[in-house]
Amino acid sequence: MQTLRENRAAFERLRLRPRVLVDVSKLDMSTTILGQRVSMPICVAPTAMCRMAHADGEIGIAKAATTHGTCVCLSSWSTTSLEDVAQATPDALRWFQLYVYKDRVVTERLVRRAEAHGYRAILLTVDTPLLGKREPDVRNRFELPPHLTMANFVSEGPKSEGKQESGLALYVASLIDRTLTWEDIKWLQSITKLPIVVKGIITAEDTKIAVEHGVSGIMVSNHGARQLDGVPATIEALPEVVATVQLMNQNRPADKQVEVYMDGGVRRGTDVLKALALGARAVFVGRPVLWGLAYKGEEGVFNVLQLLKDELALAMALAGCVRVQELRERPVVVHET
Amino acid sequence: MQTLRENRAAFERLRLRPRVLVDVSKLDMSTTILGQRVSMPICVAPTAMCRMAHADGEIGIAKAATTHGTCVCLSSWSTTSLEDVAQATPDALRWFQLYVYKDRVVTERLVRRAEAHGYRAILLTVDTPLLGKREPDVRNRFELPPHLTMANFVSEGPKSEGKQESGLALYVASLIDRTLTWEDIKWLQSITKLPIVVKGIITAEDTKIAVEHGVSGIMVSNHGARQLDGVPATIEALPEVVATVQLMNQNRPADKQVEVYMDGGVRRGTDVLKALALGARAVFVGRPVLWGLAYKGEEGVFNVLQLLKDELALAMALAGCVRVQELRERPVVVHET
Amino acid sequence: MQTLRENRAAFERLRLRPRVLVDVSKLDMSTTILGQRVSMPICVAPTAMCRMAHADGEIGIAKAATTHGTCVCLSSWSTTSLEDVAQATPDALRWFQLYVYKDRVVTERLVRRAEAHGYRAILLTVDTPLLGKREPDVRNRFELPPHLTMANFVSEGPKSEGKQESGLALYVASLIDRTLTWEDIKWLQSITKLPIVVKGIITAEDTKIAVEHGVSGIMVSNHGARQLDGVPATIEALPEVVATVQLMNQNRPADKQVEVYMDGGVRRGTDVLKALALGARAVFVGRPVLWGLAYKGEEGVFNVLQLLKDELALAMALAGCVRVQELRERPVVVHET
Amino acid sequence: MQTLRENRAAFERLRLRPRVLVDVSKLDMSTTILGQRVSMPICVAPTAMCRMAHADGEIGIAKAATTHGTCVCLSSWSTTSLEDVAQATPDALRWFQLYVYKDRVVTERLVRRAEAHGYRAILLTVDTPLLGKREPDVRNRFELPPHLTMANFVSEGPKSEGKQESGLALYVASLIDRTLTWEDIKWLQSITKLPIVVKGIITAEDTKIAVEHGVSGIMVSNHGARQLDGVPATIEALPEVVATVQLMNQNRPADKQVEVYMDGGVRRGTDVLKALALGARAVFVGRPVLWGLAYKGEEGVFNVLQLLKDELALAMALAGCVRVQELRERPVVVHET
Ligand SMILES: Cc1cc2nc3c(=O)[nH]c(=O)nc-3n(C[C@H](O)[C@H](O)[C@H](O)COP(=O)(O)O)c2cc1C
Ligand SMILES: Cc1cc2nc3c(=O)[nH]c(=O)nc-3n(C[C@H](O)[C@H](O)[C@H](O)COP(=O)(O)O)c2cc1C
Ligand SMILES: Cc1cc2nc3c(=O)[nH]c(=O)nc-3n(C[C@H](O)[C@H](O)[C@H](O)COP(=O)(O)O)c2cc1C
Ligand SMILES: Cc1cc2nc3c(=O)[nH]c(=O)nc-3n(C[C@H](O)[C@H](O)[C@H](O)COP(=O)(O)O)c2cc1C
């Protein structure tokens, strides 16, 4: 799995250029995303079916993120309904990750419910017209365990249907709309006032189209290397997306600046530093949050986020940066020679 | 074995550039090779002595390929006669792979029999004036097992002759014509109307000569890294062959366009995508077909081809390509930086 | 740990260009640093708490270095007081490594004591406003063992305070001055006449500022890859520092030439050769000295230095260099292609 | 040991460009070195103390090389006297490898004896003013076993003298002339009419000086990575030496053309092909010959040379080259991209 390796390896090919003798006694890691302040540029990516990892599930994750003052994304395929998550974390900064179903009535209802329950953005995943080939899921005939449900839906969850197949792959093939095009962004905009962030773009070409279609943000993502194998690491794709957005932002009003985020392979504070230095406004983490959840529920997630926060603070201090903004203003990162 | 490693590693150095929000509900993987439609751009390379792997042998492979609606190449050194294969798969799209024997009478008869039995092209292997050094074959004193024969010939099959030697290497040294030159292409054209595809070209220089000699197609191949070690991976050699052919095709009538194929190390749908994006009209697979054959005869081959077909379909969908033609029209593949 | 690997790997990416048929019967490895002659361009880097490795501790190291006629740096955090080291090695060429404490009275006293006891330079470590993340120290809840003290101070040494934390990290966080800036160099110059060498610079940008602030030397160092992970190997950073200093030295009087040293990953005579060829006036070694100390106290350190000295002599001879000066005058080192 | 690895790895970074449909029925691998015909461009490098590997020793090697019609070099440090080797192989094409002793009387006698006994060239090793650091030899306190002698000398062979040291390193340090310079080439020319080949040059700079001093040949060698570690692989150094010699040869009469050879890491026929394609007139092999000797004396050496010969023939045929000369006339080798 070339891309899974690359998501990590590409970070290690980048070199930091620290500056010394800077007063680092007062660090400010906070930033805003879509106008909302977060305590750090590290947020939680949407991951499906979290209650498989721990009974605390999506609510545990949302609580831990909220305690940290950062943003959490809820997957369409959560095992807790978006309403229950909202109720458990009323003050949370929550985004709703959307998969568009063939049944547009289902989809529309999902979006309206998210809007109604205080989710602040629609994170539209665009890299999953079909599910990537995940061989362990095939081997294990992946199914949602009987005691859990796709809680945002009344319909049944993924079943492997007695085949040597991933139940989730079958589910996507039968229910998710693979005819989705850029035109549908307009439809989405017509049914919600929420800002739209497209998740899964890794080329300058698509970035341009996305901005032209009025999205508010772009999440550079290869779905944690779970969709098309062979695509570049996200940290490698980030610069071309950032450059395209920066150019297009010049012609846009100050309050309509498109933001770029990234996820994929972020494991260390120095990874965050590198991503920010290459132009990401914030990073999102997937697996590490699940590892924390599996280990110790909400507390485990809290600890994982704390580790990353501490590491970022330390990395900023040792690099001589006191505000995240600075990271974009000087060459903190260079490619290996 | 530098080239064996490279045939795989070079694929992994290529990066895909997927496009999103393309309607991928209707994929068309079909294409034509030498004017014949195939259901997918994945065909079966010629491999010698298939009945060593499974009793289904060459007929099993041909049937599986035909069920899939794709092309199969029969080796000169098949353990089933070309007539028997033709009879068992009358509707198959079959090519005949030719080794030119010192005894030109034998060679001519072989070509005429292939033509008479409905093979659609002569795939002339040009990288084997002598057999490559295959150390396991030497160690094992490779011989054709007694119950099998080189079924296209009356003469005896490879024997190691009591020496610490590969019987096949001795066979080639004594029977195959190592004086073969481009002039002989003309001779071949004089004895058959079948289109000729040369197999084993990996340089622009030889490509030019081949096209000048009126071949219909070029198979970029290093014989699965079994001949000269140290040559580049075929996916690395492909671009220079494609560029040369494209240039020369400009001066040729529409119905005389030379086609380029490749084999070597294709194991995944994304490999096929990469090869097509770099200009191959179709890829051919060798070992994976034999693995399927060894595992479960015709059914195993069918499964291997199905796996590749499914993976290609998925890869196309996730890359945002709905027809194979598109792969050549936009930069789906780039080299790693 | 990317940088730890790189500190070694980057040396191995450099290629030597030896010259032959040079009379190498009389080698001269001596050089001067800050005007003091050393028998070889290999000195001892400051390392904290040496008595943890062996009872001979800092005195053992200083004696061994002095026997070899080279320079030794004493850490602020030595387990032997700077006075005791001075008394045990009155003729030694000693530098004092300074950490600046929040309590400037403590700091000033330290500097004045070093000056009073014959230390010849202040080696100001600038890469440690906070301690790097050293996971083994966290896991082991690193503390100074009870029988040892931070002998230059009356205050207590690092305690992990019952937390799952490195005691040293807590110590640094509470006591070391993370507000330190370039302005403080002036303060330091106001309280001592000793030349100041800044340790921990790896960019051209900071080099320029350092020279402008009147430092006498720059130690290219990443603290043995113990501070910010992800920074380049020091041998990779060296050239840009050297180039900057060389340019600025052109405008400075002959007796005010700034010198460049390096440490990090030096393990072989050929490493020294490479560093010198890239412009370092001398290299400093950290871990190898501690390994020698742990193995056999003062004698072990002596042996380690002897090994390096012998290897450098051999490397110079085989490279066709008879004086260290020559190494800078011809291209002894090139990067791999 | 960076260079030891590189001597092999650098070969694997080269790619062959084979041409097809060339009549390869008649290969000619023969060439001349210093005007003497050899049956193949593969000769035997000098290696010291061969009788440690097998009782057949230097005579066994010389006989095997002679049977193959190729050139063999006898080390100054042979365990068979040059006279005995000459007597056992009167028709051999033998070169004498010279180490220059501090005692020039000893050296002169050696050269005159070699000339008198039919050695055809003096192969002057210039990379060994001191012995490289060979850690196994140090650990094992290498000594010549008591039943063997440095048979070209009356003095004693290498003894470790009770020290933890390589006896050979001590031997070289005490007896070999490390004051040797290019001037001494003239002295050598004054005492012998034999052509001089300098062994151990890997830079363009030294190549130029060597040619100016009237040498007949240059052996690009890093002593099998046994002298200065960190130098480039010889196959990497070869091109700059070849380019320099080619330029200088243009101003020299046809019968005074300087020849370039190489040794280091040649293990396969394709390695020979690569070296020749990059301009070497012949390659020399060290370790493989010793392996053959250790395995089975003269016969083992014969087999090793046969293997290399067969592999070269096969590689030439598969690359479409029928004479070694052709290898230099077209781009058979390119660097990896
Ligand atoms: C178990 C798992 C489930 C995921 N589920 C979703 C999902 O439902 N929707 C989505 O857009 N992304 C999903 N992702 C992708 C993540 O949002 C994110 O892109 C990825 O995990 C980031 O890479 P990282 O895991 O290396 O941090 C999932 C990832 C994992 C590991
Ligand atoms: C066991 C085996 C037998 C082969 N026999 C032949 C043959 O008879 N004629 C031929 O032109 N190529 C032969 N090939 C080469 C294949 O046609 C093809 O070039 C190669 O297998 C493609 O690489 P792959 O195995 O990595 O897919 C053989 C390959 C293998 C592995
Ligand atoms: C155990 C240890 C303790 C160290 N303590 C200090 C210290 O107190 N002050 C300092 O400036 N550097 C300290 N260093 C860093 C060294 O001065 C030096 O920069 C580094 O060890 C050089 O790399 P090397 O160990 O690869 O030779 C320490 C290094 C080690 C390994
Ligand atoms: C055991 C051994 C002994 C050697 N002795 C000598 C020697 O006496 N004189 C010399 O010039 N080179 C000597 N060499 C170097 C060889 O001549 C040659 O440069 C080297 O072995 C070539 O590399 P290869 O071993 O990878 O083929 C020796 C090499 C080995 C391995």
Q: Do B318 and A184 touch (CB under 8 A)?
A: no
* Alpha carbon distance C214, C195 (integer Å): 9
Atom of ligand 1 nearest to the CA of A77: 8
Q: Smallest Cα–Cα separation from D133: which of D231, D252, D56, D225?
A: D225
CA B81 → CA B114, B150, B175, distances in Å?
A: 10, 8, 19
Question: What phi and psi, each to the nearest 5 degrees, are found at residue A14?
Answer: -95, 145
Q: Do C178 and A23 touch (CB under 8 A)?
A: yes
Exposure string over D228-263, b if 16+ CB within 10 A, otherwise e: bbbbbbbbbbbebbbebbeebbeeeeeeeebbbbbb
CA of C47 to the centre of ligand 3 (A): 5
Chain B to chain D, count of Cβ pairs less than 8 Å apart? 74
- What is the value of ipTM here, to two decimals? 0.95
Locate the chain D residue with the closest alpha carbon to C318.
Answer: D228
CA of D138 to the centre of ligand 4 (A): 18
Q: How many CB atoms lie within 10 A of CB B37?
A: 12
Structure tokens at A274: 């590198």
Minimal Cβ distance to D126: which of C21, C268, C315: C21
**What percent of chain B has pLDDT above 90?**
93
* H, E, C per residue of C138-195: HHCCCCCCCCCCCCCCCCCCCCCCCCCCCHHHHHHHHHECCCCCCHHHHHHHHHCCCC
Q: Which residue type is seen at C121?
A: A
**Pair A325, A32: CB distance under 8 Å:** no
* Alpha carbon distance C248, D274 (integer Å): 47
Minimal Cβ distance to D21: which of B182, B229, B231: B182
Q: How many CB atoms lie within 10 A of CB C133?
A: 23
Query: Which residue out of A13, A21, A266, A334 would a mutagenesis test of the C interface target, given it has the greatest number of C Cβ atoms within 10 Å?
Result: A21
Atom of ligand 2 nearest to the CA of B264: 23
Sign of CA dihedral D294, D299, D305, D308: negative
Q: How far is C274 from chain D (nearest CA, A)?
A: 9
The two counts, helices (H) then strands (E), for chain B are 12, 12
Q: Smallest Cα–Cα separation from C167: which of C194, C136, C191?
A: C136
How far does Cα A112 stand from its chain's mean position?
21
pLDDT per residue as tens digits for the range D190-236: 999 999 999 999 999 999 999 999 999 999 999 999 999 999 999 99
Q: How far is C306 from chain A (nearest CA, A)?
A: 34
pLDDT average, residue stretch D28-57: 98
DSSP string, A253-278: -GGG--EEEEESS--SHHHHHHHHHT
Exposure string over B77-110, b if 16+ CB within 10 A, otherwise e: bbbbbbebbbeebeebbbbbbbbbbeeeeebbeb
* Alpha carbon distance A313, C48 (integer Å): 25
Whether C200 is in the pocket of ligand 3, judged by its Cβ within 6 Å, is no
**Pair B236, B279: CB distance under 8 Å:** no
**Pair C230, A13: CB distance under 8 Å:** no
Residues on D contacting C at a C-beta cutoff of 8 Å = 2, 126-127, 129-130, 132-133, 178-182, 184-185, 198, 200-203, 205-206, 209, 227-232, 236, 335
pLDDT bin (cut points 50, 70, 90) of residue D336 is low
**Pair B123, B137: CB distance under 8 Å:** no
Atom of ligand 2 nearest to the CA of B75: 8
**Count of positions (residues) in chain B:** 337
The protein residue with its alpha carbon nearest to ligand 2, atom 8, reads B48
DSSP string, A172-192: HHHHB-TT--THHHHHHHHH-
Q: What is the pLDDT of residue B336?
A: 67
Minimal Cβ distance to D19: which of B2, B206, B229: B206
Structure tokens at A165: 């197949």
pLDDT per residue as tens digits for the range C104-136: 999 999 999 999 999 999 999 999 999 999 999
Query: Which residue out of D182, D199, D228, D335 would a mutagenesis test of the C interface target, given it has the greatest number of C Cβ atoms within 10 Å?
Result: D228
Q: Smallest Cα–Cα separation from C239: which of C265, C204, C214, C193?
A: C204
Structure tokens at D194: 């034999």
Sign of CA dihedral D216, D219, D223, D229: positive
Average pLDDT value for chain A:
96
Minimal Cβ distance to B314: which of A130, A180, A185: A130
**Pair A123, A95: CB distance under 8 Å:** yes
As to burial, measured by CB atoms within 10 angstroms (0-12 exposed, 13-18 middle, 19+ buried), residue C215 is: buried
Whose tokens are 């309280």? That residue is C191
Instruction: Say if D and A touch: at least 3 Cβ pairs within 8 Å.
Output: no
Q: Do A230 and B17 touch (CB under 8 A)?
A: no
Instruction: Say if B and C touch: at least 3 Cβ pairs within 8 Å.
Output: no
Specify which residues D32 forms β-bridges with.
D37
Minimal Cβ distance to C126: which of A17, A20, A337: A20
Residue to mutate, A5, A42, A47, ligand 1, most ligand atoms under 8 Å from C-beta = A47
pLDDT per residue as tens digits for the range D91-132: 999 999 999 999 999 999 999 999 999 999 999 999 999 999
* Alpha carbon distance A193, A196 (integer Å): 9
* Alpha carbon distance A203, D206 (integer Å): 50
Structure tokens at B322: 């709905």
- Enzyme catalytic residues of D: 223
Atom of ligand 1 nearest to the CA of A221: 19
* Alpha carbon distance B301, A136 (integer Å): 22
Exposure string over D167-206, b if 16+ CB within 10 A, otherwise e: bbbbbbeebbbbebebebbeebbeebebbbbbbbbbbbbb
pLDDT bin (cut points 50, 70, 90) of residue A15 is very high
Residue to mutate, B52, B61, B223, ligand 2, most ligand atoms under 8 Å from C-beta = B223
Q: Do A198 and B20 touch (CB under 8 A)?
A: yes
Average pLDDT value for chain B:
96
Whether C132 is in the pocket of ligand 3, judged by its Cβ within 6 Å, is no
Q: What is the pLDDT of residue B215?
A: 98
Q: Smallest Cα–Cα separation from C99: which of C227, C262, C11, C247?
A: C227
Q: DSSP strand E in chain C: where?
A: 14-16, 31-33, 36-38, 42-44, 71-74, 93-98, 122-125, 196-201, 217-220, 259-263, 282-285, 333-335
The two counts, helices (H) then strands (E), for chain A are 12, 12
**Pair C44, C70: CB distance under 8 Å:** yes
Residue B223 annotated in active site: yes
Q: Smallest Cα–Cα separation from D47: which of D74, D10, D22?
A: D74
pLDDT tens digit at each of 337 positions of chain B = 899 999 999 999 999 999 999 999 999 999 999 999 999 999 999 999 999 999 999 999 999 999 999 999 999 999 999 999 999 999 999 999 999 999 999 999 999 999 999 999 999 999 999 999 999 999 999 999 999 999 999 888 899 888 889 999 999 999 999 999 999 999 999 999 999 999 999 999 999 999 999 999 999 999 999 999 999 999 999 999 999 999 999 999 999 999 999 999 999 999 999 999 999 999 999 999 999 999 999 999 999 999 999 999 999 999 999 999 999 888 888 876 5
Q: Which residue type is seen at C206?
A: D
CA B244 → CA A233, B269, D221, D289, D320, distances in Å?
A: 32, 26, 40, 44, 20
pLDDT average, residue stretch C21-29: 97
DSSP string, B61-84: HHHHHHHTT-EEEE-TT-SS-HHH
Counting ligands in written order, the one closest to the CA of C11 is 3
Instruction: Say if B and D touch: at least 3 Cβ pairs within 8 Å.
Output: yes
Whether A287 is in the pocket of ligand 1, judged by its Cβ within 6 Å, is yes
Structure tokens at B43: 């065909």
Residue C161 has pLDDT above 90, yes or no: no
- DSSP code, position A150: -
Q: Using an 8 Å CB-CB cutoff, list chain B residues near A2.
A: 12
pLDDT per residue as tens digits for the range A227-254: 999 999 999 999 999 999 999 999 999 9
* Alpha carbon distance D37, D18 (integer Å): 27
* Alpha carbon distance B213, C174 (integer Å): 81
Residue to mutate, C7, C226, C293, ligand 3, most ligand atoms under 8 Å from C-beta = C226
CA D86 → CA D44, D58, D150, distances in Å?
A: 16, 10, 16
* Alpha carbon distance C302, C296 (integer Å): 9
* Alpha carbon distance B243, B278 (integer Å): 10
Q: Smallest Cα–Cα separation from D48: which of D94, D8, D98?
A: D98
Sign of CA dihedral B235, B237, B240, B243: negative
